[in-house]
């Protein structure tokens, strides 16, 4: 009797985990079961939800900081206007004080000695409406500055609350990502040689296309090793029927295929696009941008833009920490500029799942590149589709030759 694919996959995963754990001196005892795999899927969803909450608070913080900056500039500009017109204000206040003591309506009977006084009062009476308008404008401006400062204080209170909520989100997210890593290691212990292999890949690759090619080859080699061990743990008549994907029990049960033009990408970080795909470089003679630069908050949470498998997570030349995710259909995404990567090579991710964080203490930019068959394409149409559910792209928009 033939086993079902699900049962075969579970049996292979359990057998594989035991074999890998037995062959690793440092690995913890494996306890790979279908319940562990189900728990890992649930933790992934919790991570996605926590990252979404954190990014929502980051967007709130960005909006509040922008609003506060505008309010402060408005209040400071108006205050400078008042400060620069101190002399005019003094003359206006002196005139108004004089009119309060001796209003024009209280004119004395005409006689030769009072003719000049009356003429002056009549001239002053003609300008009285303008003086009163100036007084109202001055009073209104003072009130507006006070209102702006009150509004700024309220927004600063909201900003403090949003930052506190964000810190709570980040603490919760740190716990979830640690739990995700622990579950992944328990289900399928990490290859002890993997960190050294990643370092070697980074040193040997000449550029990004070469790095992707080498990382893909290393992942395929790892897949064959996992599959061979899984098949070796099964009876001979069952080993041949084991699908390649079934050998990895950490693989999510539902992965979306990268299928342009219907594919929708998740913005990998909360922020604003500082440099677009194909934009001219600031340095003369430098090539056009092959991806997007996204200005982000310090410590901003980075997420996977789409479902896939991490094939590289480590340092690479002047890009610093680099994360490359294979999405299928010849598509890969690359994230650079991170201060921390919370996922490892060979691990699977879902769209929106947290993968790292930006540097703390100062604003930075996340570099996001999307490639098809080693060639960069513009990710913005797919990002727009993910954000708005419309504006389907007409096709790959490549960097001009």
pLDDT in tens, 334-389: 999 999 999 999 999 999 999 999 999 876 899 999 999 889 999 998 888 766 54
Question: Is the confidence at residue 31, as pLDDT, over 50?
Answer: no
Q: Using alpha carbons only, give the angle 370, 376, 379 rounded to the nearest 5 degrees.
A: 40
Give the model confidence (pLDDT) of 277-315 as tens digits: 888 765 656 678 899 999 999 999 999 999 999 999 999
Identify the three-state secondary structure at position 344.
coil
CATH code, 252-388: 2.70.70.10
pLDDT at 83: 83
Under 8 Å between Cβ of 313 and 349: no
pLDDT of res. 188? 82
Three-state secondary-structure class, residue 304: coil
Dihedral through CA 181, CA 183, CA 189, CA 190, nearest 10? -10
CB 40 within 8 A of CB 180: yes
What is the tens place of the pLDDT at every residue in 137-163?
888 888 999 999 999 999 999 999 999
- Where does 23-104 have alpha helices with state H? 34-84, 86-101
d(CA 76, CA 330): 54
Q: How far is CA 200 from CA 34, 70, 205, in A?
A: 34, 49, 9
Within 206-345, where are the H helices?
208-232, 236-239
- Decide if pLDDT at 209 tops 70: yes
Q: Give the torsion through C-alpha atoms of 9, 12, 13, 15, to 10 deg.
A: 160
Task: Output the pLDDT for position 354.
Answer: 97
Whole-number pLDDT of residue 130:
74
Q: What is the pLDDT of residue 111?
A: 52
- Out of 84-98, 179-193, 252-266, 371-385, pick the least confident: 84-98
Instruction: Yes or no: say if 253 and 41 are a contact pair by the CB < 8 Å rule.
Output: yes
Verify cis geometry, omega within 30 degrees of 0, for the bond prior to 251. Answer: no
pLDDT of amino acid 395? 43
State the Cα torsion 146-151-152-158 to the nearest 10°.
160
d(C-alpha 142, C-alpha 63), whole Å? 27
User: For residue 61, how many other CB atoms are within 10 A of its CB?
Assistant: 19
H or E stretch covering 165:
helix 115-187
Q: What is the pLDDT of residue 224?
A: 83
More confidently predicted of 396 and 371: 371
Strand ordering across the sheet containing 354-357: 301-303, 354-357, 340-341
């Amino acid at each position: 009797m033939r086993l079902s694919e699900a049962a075969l996959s579970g049996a292979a995963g359990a057998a594989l985990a035991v074999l890998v754990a037995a062959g690793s001196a440092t690995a913890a005892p494996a306890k790979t079961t279908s319940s562990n795999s189900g728990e890992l899927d649930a933790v992934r969803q919790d991570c996605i939800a926590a990252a979404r909450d954190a990014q929502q608070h980051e967007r709130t913080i960005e909006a509040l900081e922008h609003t506060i900056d505008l309010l402060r500039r408005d209040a400071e500009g108006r205050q400078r206007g008042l400060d620069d017109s101190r002399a005019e204000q003094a003359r206006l206040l002196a005139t108004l004080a004089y009119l309060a003591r001796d209003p024009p309506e209280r004119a004395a009977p005409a006689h030769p000695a009072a003719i000049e006084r009356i003429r002056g009062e009549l001239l002053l009476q003609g300008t009285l409406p303008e003086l009163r308008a100036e007084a109202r404008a001055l009073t209104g401006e003072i009130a507006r500055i006070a209102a702006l400062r009150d509004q700024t204080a309220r927004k600063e209170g909201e900003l403090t609350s949003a930052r506190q909520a964000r810190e709570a989100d980040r603490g919760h997210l740190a716990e979830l990502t640690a739990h995700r890593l622990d579950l992944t290691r328990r289900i399928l212990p990490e290859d002890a040689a993997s960190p050294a292999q990643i370092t070697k890949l980074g040193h040997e690759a000449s550029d990004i296309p070469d790095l992707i090619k080498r990382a893909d080859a290393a992942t395929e080699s790892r897949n064959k090793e996992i599959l061979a061990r899984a098949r070796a743990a099964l009876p001979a008549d069952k080993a041949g029927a084991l699908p390649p994907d079934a050998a990895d029990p950490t693989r999510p049960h539902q992965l979306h295929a990268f299928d342009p033009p219907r594919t929708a990408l998740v913005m990998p970080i909360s922020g604003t696009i500082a440099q677009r795909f194909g934009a001219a470089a600031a340095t003369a003679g430098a090539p056009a941008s092959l991806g997007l630069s996204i200005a982000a908050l310090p410590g901003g949470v980075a997420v996977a833009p789409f479902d896939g498998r991490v094939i590289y997570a480590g340092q690479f030349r002047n890009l610093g920490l680099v994360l490359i995710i294979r999405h299928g259909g010849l598509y890969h995404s690359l994230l650079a500029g991170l201060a921390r990567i919370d996922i490892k090579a060979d691990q699977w991710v879902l769209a929106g799942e947290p993968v790292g964080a930006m540097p703390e203490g100062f604003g930075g930019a996340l570099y996001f590149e999307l490639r098809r068959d080693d060639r960069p394409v513009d990710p913005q149409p797919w990002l727009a589709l993910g954000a708005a559910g419309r504006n389907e792209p007409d096709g790959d928009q490549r960097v001009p030759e």
